[in-house]
Amino acid sequence: MKFAEDFATKTDELQLASSLTMSRYTELLLAIACGMAVANVYFAHPLLDSIASEFIIEPSTIGIVITITQICYALGLLLLVPLGDLLNHRGVIIGQMLMLVVALVVVGIAPTSIVFFIGIAVVGLLAVVTQTLVAYASTLAVPAERGRVLGFVTSGVVIGILLARTFAGIMADLGGWRSVYLSSAVLILILIGLLHKKLPGTVYKRPFLSYPKLLHSVLMLFVQERILLIRGILALLIFTVFSTFWTSLVLPLSSPPYSYSHTAIGAFGLAGVSGALAAARAGRLADRGLGQLTTGIALVLLLSSWFFINFISYSILGLVIGIILLDLAVQAVHVTNQSLIFTVRPEARSRLTAAYMVFYSIGSATGSIVSTNIYANYGWKGVCLFGVSVSALALVFWIATYRLAKEIMKK
C-alpha cells in the first residue's frame, strides 16, 4: 500500500510546524472560537420544550433535534475536517464559519419544522470547524507543550458546550428561542473578523492527495491505528453519558416541583465549567506520560457522579456536585484521548481528529435520543441507571485494554 507514502511529509516541514510558538492571545482566540462554534450544536438542549411546543413535536421524540445535529456533525467530521490536511487551515476555518453564520440565520427565521430541521442539520455539519481549530492548535504547538495547549483549547470546547445552555436559557427568556441562533450568528461574524486578522496561513506544505484518497485515508486510520480505536471507544462511551445527562436534565427541572425557567436551567451549565477548567490540566499530565492513570481516575469520578445526580429530587446541591464531577471526568478523558492520539501521525492530525470525533458524535447522538425516551418511560431513575451502566462499561473497557494501550504507546 502507498498509504505511508501518500501521507509522509518532509522532516523539515514538520519541524517548521512544531518550532512555532503560539502566543497566549492566539491560544485564547482559538479556544473562544472552538467554544462559540460547538455551542451551536448544544443551544437546543434547554430549548427542547419551546421548540417542541412551536413545531408541535411530541416530548418523547423531541430528542431527535439533538440526534439530527449530532448525525450531521459526524458527517461533517468525515467530509470536512480532513480538508485541514489538504488545504490551507486558515481558509478552511474562515470559509466554514461564514457558511455557519448563514445556517444559523436560517434556523433563526425558520417558518416551518422542515426548514428548521434542514437548518439545524447544516449547523451540525458546519460546526465541525471546532475540530479543525483543535487540529490546527495541535499543529502550531511545540511537542513539549502539545498536551497543555490541547487541554486549554479543548477546555474552550467543553466550556462552550456548557455555557451554550446558560446563553440559550437567558436569550430564550429575553427574546424567545429564535433569538439564540440569530445572536450567535452575529457573534460568530465578529469572531470571523478577529480570526481573519490573527491566524497565520499554511504552517507546512501538504502532500498532494485527491479528495477521495483523503477520505479513504480517514477510514484506513480506523484499521491501522489501534490506539485510535481504543481511545475512540472510550470517547463514544463517555460522550454517551455526557449527552444522556445534559439532554434529559431540562425535563425534570422544567417540571414540578422545580418548574425552572430557561435561564435557571441554563445556569446549571456554569457548575460544569468549573469541572471542565480543572480538567484542562489533564493535558499537562499526558505530557508527563500519565495519560493512562489520568483516564482511570477520571472514569472512577464519572461513575461516582451519578450517585449525586440521582438525588435531583432531594438536593440541588447534590446535583451541582454531580455535574462538576461528571464534566471534570469527561473533559479529562477527552483531553487525554487527543493528546495520545495526536502523537501517532503528526502529518495527519486533521484526519485523526475526524476519525476520533466520529466516536464522539455517535455517543452524543445515542445519549440524546435514548435519554429522552428513557425519561418518558422510566423517569429520572431510569436515566440515572442508564448513565451508571454506561459509565461502568467505560471503566471496565479501560481496565481490559490498559495493558494493550500501554504497549502500543511504547512503540
- Please list the alpha-helical segments (H only) found in 112-145: 113-126, 129-140
Of 87-91, 213-217, 346-350, 402-406, give the lowest mean pLDDT range. 346-350
Sign of CA dihedral 284, 290, 292, 295: negative
Residue 379 above 70 pLDDT?
Answer: yes
Closest CA to 394 of 215, 181, 171, 242: 242
For 257, other C-beta atoms within 10 Å of its C-beta total 6
- Please list the alpha-helical segments (H only) found in 225-348: 226-248, 250-253, 262-279, 282-287, 291-309, 316-341
CA dihedral 355, 357, 361, 362 (to 10 degrees): 50
Q: Which amino acid is it at 306? A: W
pLDDT digits (tens, 9 = 90+) for 142-178: 777 777 788 788 888 878 887 887 888 889 889 899 9
Tell me the mean pLDDT in the region 94-111.
Answer: 94
Distance (Å) of CA 353 to CA 82, 231, 322: 8, 12, 29
All three cell numbers of 307, joined, read 450517585
The pLDDT assigned to 342 comes to 76
Q: Which amino acid is it at 77? A: L
Separation between Cα atoms, residue 180 and residue 266, nearest integer Å: 12
Separation between Cα atoms, residue 137 and residue 151, nearest integer Å: 11
Residue 205 above 60 pLDDT?
Answer: no
DSSP 3-state of 40: helix
Separation between Cα atoms, residue 120 and residue 110, nearest integer Å: 10
pLDDT digits (tens, 9 = 90+) for 261-287: 777 877 787 777 777 676 667 777 777
Do 349 and 342 touch, CB atoms closer than 8 A?
yes
* Beta carbons within 8 Å of 86's beta carbon, 6+ residues apart: 206, 209, 211, 214
- E strand or H helix at 182, and its extent? helix 177-198
All three cell numbers of 53, joined, read 411546543
Separation between Cα atoms, residue 319 and residue 341, nearest integer Å: 33
